[in-house]
Structures are given as structure tokens and as C-alpha cells.
Amino acid sequence: MPDHSIQRASDLAGDERLIVERWLGRAISNEETISINAYRSHAGPDSLIQQRLRQDIVGQAREIGSRAGDVSDRELDEILGEAFDNARGLLG
């Protein structure tokens, strides 16, 4: 069985369309394409690996920050605000 399916919204049967709209929490238009993926669940990394990953990320952030030079708190707030706005746009 396939783990992935792509359908044009205009090709969905009425009941299929209703299910997709319920899952999304909104109406879909005929111009949209619906993509469904099925994944097997798996355990996340154990706490030791999580801690190492966190340390790596903090280390990388510090190294990048050290290259920024003299950046004012205001400039830093603006940069972070823009980054958060962009990330939210990708997620929502």
C-alpha cells in the first residue's frame, strides 16, 4: 500500500471533501491539491541525545552571534522579530 497520496480537490467525492475540510478546519477550493502522508510512529531521541543536540545548537548560535560584531539590542530585536515572523509564516 502506498504511504502517500495526492488528489486535486476538484476530483474528491463529496464525502471525501467533507472529511478533508474537517481535518483542515476550513473549506477547500477546487484549485487546491490535497496531499496525504502516512508515517509509522517512532521513538524520539533519548534525553542524552537531546541534550547533545541542544548543546550543538547553542554552540552554533554562539558562533554565529560572535560574527555579528557590534549589533545594538534594537537591531537584534528587529532581526529576531523578522525571523520569528518568517517562521510563523512557514508554519501557519
Whether the predicted pLDDT of 8 surpasses 90: yes
Predicted pLDDT at 79:
86
Q: What span, in angstroms and rounded, lies between the C-alpha atoms of 28 and 9?
A: 7
Q: What span, in angstroms and rounded, lies between the C-alpha atoms of 86 and 92?
A: 10
H helix count then E strand count, the chain: 3, 2
Give the mean pLDDT of the chain: 88
**CA gyration radius for the chain?**
21
Phi and psi, residue 4, nearest 5°:
-145, 140
| Across 54-73, average pLDDT | 86
| Across 77-92, average pLDDT | 83
